[in-house]
Amino acid sequence: GAVVSQHPSWVICKSGTSVKIECRSLDFQATTMFWYRQFPKQSLMLMATSNEGSKATYEQGVEKDKFLINHASLTLSTLTVTSAHPEDSSFYICSATPRQLAKNIQYFGAGTRLSVL
């Protein structure tokens, strides 16, 4: 149980286009979803915290107009990278905390590798 699906796993796009990444909790309702960014051989940096039905809370230094987060239901959150540029190329990972289970543990998606040409 506690499976998080992230789609797509890999996307290549042209500079200036927007890319949407989906994060779904498949077998549980997610109270909160988190979005992280990870550069090669580095740690995960929290970008934003997303609660269902409310606006996302962004970490300091993360542009909310650049990284649009929507958490429309208890099982789906989306991250849209708007007007992507090569410096946005990275590995993006989502996670979710279940409503019913231990909230301290996060369940992670497999990640999305974004390459902006």
Partner 1 sequence: SQQGEEDPQALSIQEGENATMNCSYKTSINNLQWYRQNSGRGLVHLILIRSNEREKHSGRLRVTLDTSKKSSSLLITASRAADTASYFCATVTDSSYKLIFGSGTRLLVRP
Binding residues vs partner 1 (CB under 8 A):
4, 6, 32, 34, 41-46, 49, 60, 91, 93, 95, 97, 103-111, 113
**Rounded CA gap, 33 and 116, in Å?**
25
Nearer to partner 1, 31 or 82 (CB): 31
**CA torsion sign, 59 to 62 to 63 to 68?**
negative
| Rounded least distance, CB 49 to partner 1, Å | 6
Nearer to partner 1, 13 or 91 (CB): 91
Tell me the DSSP string of 14-67.
-TT--EEEEEEESSS-EEEEEEEEE-TTS-EEEEEEEETTSPPEEPTT--TTTE
| Rounded least distance, CB 1 to partner 1, Å | 13
Residue 45 CA, distance from chain mean position:
11
Nearer to partner 1, 11 or 44 (CB): 44
| Rounded least distance, CB 70 to partner 1, Å | 19
Nearer to partner 1, 93 or 116 (CB): 93
